[in-house]
């Protein structure tokens, strides 16, 4: 159920970006999250729909989700491999001396907006700056 907290965080952060940039309407928000993060996308979409009805700036906006592959590093043989396929044990040397490099994170990748001063949508990155 941490999806509710994640959506709450995203709405709060994107709302700040929108306010700082005088954006009145969000078109879409793209999230990236790791394949071993434990995030259930169907819950994210459900909570997103609830929030879009609660906050006018998000009304009708779309949530887009992209998965980041989980990759593990082996300290013994100095290679990377797919965490999902092989788990914690290195498939090359059999060592358990491994570390998850990526695949457990979540981040706001992109915010697409409708700007009152423009005819079509503009795009903001996660820092709230327009993408040319």
The pLDDT of residue 121 is: 42
Phi, psi of 15 (to 5 degrees): -60, -40
**How far lies 131's CA from each of 12, 14, 17, 23, in Å?**
21, 15, 14, 15
**pLDDT band at residue 123 under the 50/70/90 scheme:** low
3-class state of residue 56 by DSSP: helix
pLDDT in tens, 44-78: 999 999 999 999 999 999 999 999 999 999 999 99
The pLDDT of residue 1 is: 53
The whole-angstrom separation of Cα 83 and Cα 70 is 5
- CATH number for domain 2-69+103-125, candidates 3.30.2320.50, 3.40.50.720, 3.40.630.30, 1.10.1200.10: 3.30.2320.50
The whole-angstrom separation of Cα 15 and Cα 5 is 15
pTM for this structure?
Answer: 0.80
The pLDDT of residue 114 is: 86
The pLDDT of residue 125 is: 61
Instruction: Indicate if the pLDDT at residue 119 is higher than 50.
Output: no
**pLDDT band at residue 124 under the 50/70/90 scheme:** low
pLDDT in tens, 89-108: 999 999 999 999 999 999 99
36 HSE (CA, 13 A, CB side)? 16
């Amino acid at each position: 159920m941490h999806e509710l907290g994640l959506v709450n965080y995203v709405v709060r952060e994107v709302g700040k970006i929108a306010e700082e940039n005088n954006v009145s309407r969000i078109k879409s928000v793209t999230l990236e999250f790791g394949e071993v993060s434990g995030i259930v996308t169907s819950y994210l979409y459900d909570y997103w729909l609830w929030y879009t009805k609660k906050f006018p700036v998000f009304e009708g906006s779309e949530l887009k989700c992209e998965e980041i592959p989980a990759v593990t590093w082996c300290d013994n043989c100095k290679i990377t491999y797919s965490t999902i396929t092989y788990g914690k044990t290195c498939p090359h040397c059999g060592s358990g001396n491994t570390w998850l490099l990526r695949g457990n994170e979540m981040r706001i990748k992109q915010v697409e907006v409708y700007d009152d001063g423009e005819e079509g949508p503009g795009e903001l990155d996660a820092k709230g700056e327009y993408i040319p």
